[in-house]
Structure 1
């Protein structure tokens, strides 16, 4: 037990005191339990295995007040800030964790129900009880999940009806305004894709200013029997943003979920992406890239659990670090007892573009079943000097040659995205963030 809470925890306790009761007994009880656990355990320390590569000592000494909803409602946000090519369907926008009806378009057509969590709770809270009444039990390792469960008062509830074929992606936007310095915001996301349905979701993180803010997002996703879900996670926050996310994806029988992730911004960013394949024939594919420079720190924790027969997963992730940046990637595959016929593969390749940059990669493989095909691999290296020499011998300047090779290295993780307009845009964003040269170098 922490007898003297850190400034971070003390600020969270103060923020909780300002959150009005929901009037829903089970929800208020869950909030209190999670807050009490956070107060007891505090943030994870260096000896905590789950956080050993992402030290939080400096963060624990900072105090973030809860973002003011009135201020967030008054922030002017230009739609161009979050507009994406190929994404022109229903949209729900949060500014500093506050739902903005004026920036959102919730009319998603037949087969789609999209609403703020606050509205859904007011209308019919009981169907949300299973997701929102969870009590995390890992203590300090789950500190940010406890924080989110205690303080998130709004979020997203998205339901896709059974057998619905949704043509346009649903766009979930989180904007850090930069107006409220040293503040925190917290959002819950609940997504349910009905049996036999087909849908795409784009979750998008952007910043409008440079003021330091902390954001937490906890997402629970269920893909029902025979359904297909495509998800794109685009994180392009400011260099002063701290962002901690947890996503849990449950894939049922003969269903498929695919995730494409691009991590570009943020000062300290962590994403825990856990997928459970719980039905026979379920499949999960993931593709991801992080491109870091300066003193950025990004930590991706990917875990895929095969809990049923004849399930499949394929993960391909790329990382780039320049300057004094640090990237962390943990990729774990767990094949449970009885999950015979599982086919799992994971590849993580990384490039260091400076002597001061660091990338830590940790592949893990646990198999408790027979008749399983599984493979994983991880590499850390530098750009191939022979390829650089070849390009330079053809008259290409060094900076442009480095950019060309770096971009080619990363594009393998994005080329399978079926939305062509969005795929090209993500490539352009990646080029703009490449630490080895400006975007015009590839024109």
Structure 2
């Protein structure tokens, strides 16, 4: 399944991504050859079993946006209540310096990948030279071949950055449907700390395809707290891959909210490489109309005494579909690991569907591990109780649904931001009984 989607994007080969060093040209050419050889995964690919690529493979997008730097963006679109600090903005995959805010903060470097490819390309080689040899990683290959921009965040060793860094990815209207690629790099030095927000938004009506790959390195005794708010235009499609490697006693705490885009996929790959490193994940996907969301976690315990604590919630209304795959692997020698995974889901409509698959694979001794998954409906007795207190059916359903989803963000200390997330979810789910328009589907 190569024709259609990939062909116009890969036209002109590696030169499509612009000027580059020799090693990067080789990396891009290798990825293009892999794509040409394997195409897009078919229905027999286990990784894409529940998210068919057949319809997407037939779509034709324009590669990138030549006018991205000139597109008018309302400043209010970039605002996030409770957050006012350093900010990097990307519009249709291109850096917008005029919309960004890059103050001088000791120990913090915020740059655009496009700039570093010109000035310090070799500093990016450990990240951009990574090869994706599994055919199911088609979009990681595509990103490797074509991405020329994205956020590069580096925190020096021993530095604790107090302001929250805000990354904004905007999908803006254009005369044609676009496919853009973003490559993000986040480096947290030894004993350093950073709080980061990745914020996806979009103008209504645009049907672009976004592909973002973020590579995170957390050194020994360092910590990264990250909040991902995916609220792209409901008519768009978005694929994201978040990779994180943790050193000795490194800590990665991730909260994710998947609420936008018509068709979305998020691969989260975490490697606990240092002894006593820890990964905590809280997430929720909230779907309506014909939205399709596919979340896949791949957490690997490689070192001793590592821990992961994963709790995800899913809500699907109308004819939407959610997919959750949570895989935890405890490799040989990773004794003392503690792995916990829970995924609970709500169906708010007879036409909605959620598929969940928790997986544990253990190759070590003295391991503590547990996993579980459920798919159900709202508690009728709780609905009845709320209605006896004067709430309408819609109000009761909204209240119970929000309470169910709050596990993903109830520990956020910023009250204004937490209230904004409440409002975002209440605005989406459940759909009111007077109905809503259908955004369409790529499937």
Of 97, 111, 114, the match for 2:93: 97
Structure 2: any 5+ residue segments left out of the alignment?
Answer: 434-443
Structure 2 counterpart of 1:8: 5
Shift of 1:432: 1.0
Shift of 1:368: 0.8
Residue deviations 1:4-51, cap 9 Å, x none?
Answer: x32112112226476254230010111111111111111111110000
Alignment check: 8 A CA contact 2:313 2:345 kept:
yes
Distance of 1:56 and 1:279 partners within structure 2: 36
Alignment check: 8 A CA contact 1:116 1:154 kept:
yes
Structure 2 counterpart of 1:59: 56
Distance of 1:273 and 1:132 partners within structure 2: 18
Distance of 1:306 and 1:67 partners within structure 2: 37
Structure 2 counterpart of 1:82: 78
Alignment check: 8 A CA contact 2:305 2:337 kept:
yes
Structure 2 counterpart of 1:25: 22
Corresponding residue SS for 2:150: strand
Distance of 2:18 and 2:63 partners within structure 1: 16
Alignment check: 8 A CA contact 1:340 1:370 kept:
yes
Of 187, 211, 222, the match for 1:227: 222
Structure 2 counterpart of 1:291: 286
Of 139, 142, 165, the match for 1:144: 139
The answer to whether structure 1 residue 435 and structure 2 residue 430 are counterparts is yes
Distance of 1:16 and 1:328 partners within structure 2: 34
Residue deviations 1:349-408, cap 9 Å, x none?
Answer: 000000110000000001111111111100000001111111112222111111111111
Structure 2 counterpart of 1:311: 306
Residue deviations 1:63-105, cap 9 Å, x none?
Answer: 1111222x11111111211211232121111101111110011
Alignment check: 8 A CA contact 1:89 1:108 kept:
no
Residue deviations 1:169-213, cap 9 Å, x none?
Answer: 111111010224311110100000011111111011110231210
Of 115, 122, 125, the match for 1:126: 122
Structure 2 counterpart of 1:441: none
Scaled by the length of structure 2, the TM-score of the pair is 0.95
Shift of 1:431: 1.0
Corresponding residue SS for 1:7: coil
Alignment check: 8 A CA contact 1:15 1:66 kept:
no
Alignment of 1:39-58 (within 5 A): 39-58=36-55
- Structure 1 residues 35, 296: CA separation in 2 closer, same or farther (over 3 Å shift)? same
The answer to whether structure 1 residue 117 and structure 2 residue 151 are counterparts is no
Alignment check: 8 A CA contact 1:402 1:436 kept:
no
Distance of 2:430 and 2:400 partners within structure 1: 12
Alignment check: 8 A CA contact 1:108 1:114 kept:
no
- Structure 1 residues 30, 248: CA separation in 2 closer, same or farther (over 3 Å shift)? same
Distance of 1:171 and 1:329 partners within structure 2: 27
Structure 1 counterpart of 2:317: 322
Structure 1 segments (4+ residues) deviating >3 Å: 15-18
Alignment check: 8 A CA contact 2:310 2:340 kept:
yes
The answer to whether structure 1 residue 216 and structure 2 residue 215 are counterparts is no
Distance of 1:384 and 1:199 partners within structure 2: 39
Corresponding residue SS for 1:204: strand
Distance of 2:137 and 2:71 partners within structure 1: 32
Structure 2 counterpart of 1:38: 35
Alignment check: 8 A CA contact 2:288 2:431 kept:
no
Alignment check: 8 A CA contact 1:21 1:28 kept:
no
Alignment check: 8 A CA contact 2:14 2:28 kept:
no
Distance of 1:8 and 1:274 partners within structure 2: 25
Distance of 1:419 and 1:29 partners within structure 2: 45
Count residues with an aligned counterpart.
433
- Structure 1 residues 169, 108: CA separation in 2 closer, same or farther (over 3 Å shift)? farther
Alignment check: 8 A CA contact 1:209 1:238 kept:
yes
Alignment check: 8 A CA contact 1:179 1:209 kept:
no
> CA-atom RMSD, angstroms?
1.4
Shift of 1:125: 1.5
Distance of 2:218 and 2:224 partners within structure 1: 7
